[in-house]
Chains A and B, each alone.
Chain A
Amino acid sequence: MNNHPLLKYLARRLLILVTSFAAALVAIYVLLRIIPGDPSDSLIPIGATPAQILAAKHSVGTDKPLIDQFGHWLSQIVRFRFGNSYISGSPVAPEIFARLRITLPLTLIAFIVAILIAVPVGITAASRGQKWYGRLLNTFSQLGIAIPVFWVGLIGIYLFALKLQILPAGGFPANGWSDFGGSLKSLVLPILTIAFVMSASLSRYIRSVTLDVLNSDFLRTSRSLGFSFRQALWSHGVRNAAAPVISILGIELATTFVGAVVVETVFALPGLGSLLVKAIQENDYATVQGVLFVSTLIVMLSGFAADALQKWLDPRLNRYANEVRA
C-alpha cells in the first residue's frame, strides 16, 4: 500500500468515515433523548387516564431505564436493524427505502440538471463577464442564491400548475413508479425548483474557479503554444478547475439531499425529508434514527467519493509519492 499513496489515503479516510459515522449515530441518539417530549405523547388521546399514559409509554419502550433503551438500540443498529416506528408500528427500513425511491431520483436528477445549467453559465459569466449576457448570467446566479427554494417552488406551482395547468401542483401517483409517466410528471417542477437554486450557487463557484484558471500561468503558456482559447480552456483549464469544483459538488449534493425536505413539503412528495419532519413532530425516535442513519451515511459517502475523485484527478499526489520513493 506504501506504493500506492491514493489507496493509503482512501484507507485512512475510510477509517475516519467509519469512526465519524459511529460518533454521529450516538450523538443523534443522545440528542433525541435530551429534547423534551416522549414518543408516546402522539399516541395518547385527550382525556387519557394515567393507566393509558403508562400503557402508551410501554408500547414504545420509554418506560424502561435509559441505559436499557440504549442497549436495545445498540444491539439493533450493529445488525443494521432500524426496528418499528413508534407511531405506525410498521418496520422503519421498508418505509425509508420506499421514500428513497422518490428522494434519490429527485435529488440526483436535479443535481445533474443543475450541473448542466451551472457549468456553461459559470464559464460564460467568467469568460464573458464584460458582455451584457455575461452580466445577465451573473445577476441570475445572485438572484438564485437570494431567493428561498420554497418561493421558487410556489412560483412554479402558480405558473405551471394553476395558470397553465400543464403540470401537477404536487403529490405523487398512488401506485408510485408503476405509473412511470405520472411519476415523472410529478417530479418535473420539484426538480426544476431544486436545479434552479442549486445551479445559481454552483455557477458562482464555477465562475470563481474559471476566473482563477483564466488568470493562470499554465493557461497563458498553453495559449502561447498555439492553442485556441477554447482548446486551452478545455484541455488544461477544465481539469485544473475540476478538482475544487468536485469538492463543492460533493457538499452541494449532500446539502440538496438533506434540504429536499422543503421542496418535498411544498410539492407534497412522500420523500425521505417529509418522513423525517413528520417523525420529528411525533417524537418517533425509531424513524428519526433510521432516516438520519441513512442520510448521514449518504452525506458522508458523497463526501468520501468527492475526495477520492478529487485525489484521482489531481496527478500531483502520485507524482509527489513517486519523488519521495525515489
Chain B
Amino acid sequence: MKMSISKNLRRKAFAAAIAFGVVASLVPAAAQAAAPTTVINVGSLYEPQNLDNTAGGGQGVTEALNGNVYEGLFKLNDDGSVSNLLATGYTVSPDGLTYTFKLHSGVKFASGKPLTSADVKFSIEKVIAPDSLSARKSSFGPIASITTPDDLTVVVTLSARSISLIYNLSYVWIFNSTATDFKAHADGTGPYTFTNWVKGSTLTLTRNPSYWGTGAKNGSVVFHYFTDATSLNNALLTKEVDVITSVQSPDALSQFSSSAYKINNGNSTTKLLLAFNDRVAPFNNKLVRQAVTSAIDRKKFLQSVWGNYGQVTGSMVPPKDPWYEDLSGVYPYNPTLAKAELKQAGYPNGFTFRLDTPTYDPHPAAAAFIKAQLALVGITVNINSVTDDQWYNNVYKAHNFVATLQEHVNDRDLVWYGNPNFYWGYNNPAVTKLINASEQVKSQRTQTLDLKKANELIVADAASDWIYLYPQIVVATSNLSGYPLNGLNSQFYAYNIVKA
C-alpha cells in the first residue's frame, strides 16, 4: 500500500512538472506574440515629391512621415492642440525672447544614433537656411540664435517675441544631423521606420520596435498612391486599401453607404477661395467685391458639390484655428443688394472679367457656378483654364490676373492677409498692424483676440470670397479604428490604427 501511494505521488509530480514546463515555454512565446503584425493599407492621392519637408517634399511627405517617422519637439494633435513630444517641456524668459527646451533622454533615431540637442539645432537651422524650401521658413524669422549647452538642452534666442513659436516648432522635423541624403532616405525618431518607397506605387513604414514612446498598435503601414479619385475609391471597394485619407469625389460616397464602411466627416483646413486681385479694377473697389460676394450663393454651391458635407465659414479661418468664428452671415446671398452695390460702385450694367481657373476639380465646376450666378446681376465672367504652372507663374508670381479660384490648404494662414505683397494684393494697414502685433503678444488669448479682430476686418473688406471649407472625409472599412479624422495640414498619424 505504501509503495502504491508513493507511485501515485510520483505520477502526479511528474505530470505537474510536465505541465509547468509547457506553461513556462509558452510565456516567452506569448510575450513575443504581443508585438502587433497587422498591416494597414492606406489609400491616398498625395504621393510625396521627395522625403524632405524642407526641400519641396510637398503635401504627401507630411501625410506619410509627419508623426510616423519624423517627430518634432512638439506635436500638433488632431484636435488642433499642441503637446510636448521630443521636448519634455520648455521655459520662457520674462521678456519672451529666450526659450529653453529640454529633451527626452534615451531617444534614438531608427539608425541607432542617439538624439541630442545638436540634432535639434541642425533641424531648426535646416528650416531657416538660405536654401530652405520649407513653407514654414518665414515663421521663424525672429530666431536670432540657437545654442546647445548640453546634449539634452536647446536654447533658442529671438530678436522679437513670437507667440506662435511652439506651434511653429510642431512642424519642424528633428533630423539626424549626421545623415546626408534627406530627399531619398528618412531616419527619424518616430514609431515607424522608413522601409521602402516604390515611386508611383507604395511607401512602406515598419513599426519601430525600439521606439522611445508608446509603440505603434500595428505592424506596418503601406501608403498606396493613386493619381485619380476613381482608382482610389475602387481600391477601397476591393479591400486593397483599408482607409482613404481624404475622399475627393463626393459622387463616390454612395458606394460606401453599406455597413462594411464608415464615412467620417472631420474638419479640414482647406478653403476654396475666389481670390480677387485687390490691386486692379474693378476689384480694387470694396463695393464691387462686396457685390460679387453677395451675388454668389455659397451654401447652394457647397450642397451641389458635397451634399451635407463641408461648411461655409465666410472667412479664411477654419474651425480648428483658435481665432475661428463663423462669419458666413456678414455677406449673405442677396442678389438684389449686389445689383444696388454695383450701381453705387459705378457699374449699373455690370462688367466683364477674366477668371483664371485651375483645371482640376472642383475649380471648373466652381467657375461655371460663379459665372451663372454673376450673370444674374449683370456680370460676365470669362473662364480662363490654367495649368498649375500657369497659375503659379502668371497669378502667384507675376500678379497678372483679375480674379482666380484656388484652394489654400494650411491652417493659421490668415497671416497672408497681413502681407500687401501676397498675390491677391490686399492692403489694409490696420490689418497688417494687427497681424504683425499678434505675433508679439504675451499670451495666446491676446493673439486670439487680435486675429479675430483682423479676420473681422478682412471679411468686412470682402478681401476675397471664401466659397467653402472642404470637408475632411475619411472613409474606412468598418473594422478599422484609431485613424485621425481631421487631417490638419495633411498629417495622418497611423500609429493608433487597429483592425478588429
Interface residue ranges, A against B (CB under 8 Å): 36-38, 41-49, 51-53, 55-56, 58-59, 87-90, 95, 98-99, 154, 157, 161-162, 165, 168-172, 174-176, 265-271, 274-275, 277-278, 281-283
Alpha-carbon distance between A171 and B238 when the two chains are bound, in angstroms: 11
What 4 A-B pairs have minimum CB-CB distances, sorted nearest first?
A43-B56, A270-B200, A89-B183, A45-B135
Q: Are B181 and A265 in contact (CB under 8 A)?
A: no
Given pairs A36-B389, A169-B231, 6 additional interface contacts (CB within 8 A):
A41-B393, A43-B55, A44-B56, A98-B199, A171-B202, A171-B240
> A169 and B235 in contact (CB under 8 A), knowing A89-B183, A270-B198, A274-B227?
yes
B234:A157 contact, CB within 8 angstroms: yes
- Which residue in chain B gives the minimum CB-CB distance to A56? B133
A37 neighbours in B (Cβ, 8 Å): 387, 389-390, 392-393
* Given A59-B131, A90-B184, also A268-B199 (CB < 8 A): no
Given contacts A55-B133, A270-B198, A275-B200, contact A170 B234 (CB under 8 A): yes
Q: How far is the CA of A154 from the CA of B233 in the complex (A)?
A: 13
Q: Is the CB of B50 within 8 A of A87?
A: yes
Q: Are B240 and A168 in contact (CB under 8 A)?
A: yes
Q: Which of B198, B199, B225, B387 contacts A88 (CB 8 A)?
A: B199
> Are B183 and A265 touching (Cβ within 8 A)?
no
Pair B234/A45 contact, Cβ less than 8 Å: no
In the complex, B261 has a CB within 8 A of chain A? no
Q: Taking CB as reference atom, which chain A residue is nearest B419? A: A47
Q: Which residues of A contact B222 (CB under 8 A)?
A: 174
27 A-B pairs within 8 Å (CB atoms) are namely: A36-B393, A41-B392, A42-B49, A46-B410, A47-B138, A47-B422, A51-B130, A55-B130, A55-B133, A58-B131, A59-B133, A88-B49, A88-B184, A89-B50, A90-B50, A161-B238, A162-B237, A165-B238, A170-B235, A172-B202, A174-B202, A266-B231, A268-B226, A269-B201, A270-B198, A281-B388, A283-B389
- Does A89 lie within 8 Å of B204, measured CB to CB? no
| Contact yes or no, A172 B234, CB < 8 A | no
**Could you tell me the distance between the alpha carbons of A56 and B133 in the complex, rounded to whole angstroms?**
7
- Which residues of chain A have C-beta atoms less than 8 A from B390's C-beta? 36-37
Roughly how many angstroms separate A278 CA and B225 CA in the complex, as a whole number? 12
B199 and A270 contacting across the interface, CB-CB below 8 Å: yes
Tell me which residues across on chain B come within 8 A of A89, comparing CB atoms: 50, 52, 55, 181, 183-184
Interface centre among B198, B224, B225, B393 (most CB of A within 10 A): B198
A270 to B49: give the CA distance in the assembly, Å.
15
Contacts of A88 in B (CB 8 A): 49-50, 183-184, 199
Contact call B231/A98, Cβ cutoff below 8 A: no
Interface centre among B201, B228, B240, B422 (most CB of A within 10 A): B201
Q: Which residue of A lies closest to B135 (CB)?
A: A45
**Which residue in chain B gives the minimum CB-CB distance to A287?**
B199
Contacts of A282 in B (CB 8 A): 49
Separation of A189 and B184 alpha carbons in the complex (Å):
32
Min CB distance A250 to B, Å, is: 28
Q: Which of A49, A161, A265 contacts B228 (CB 8 A)?
A: A265
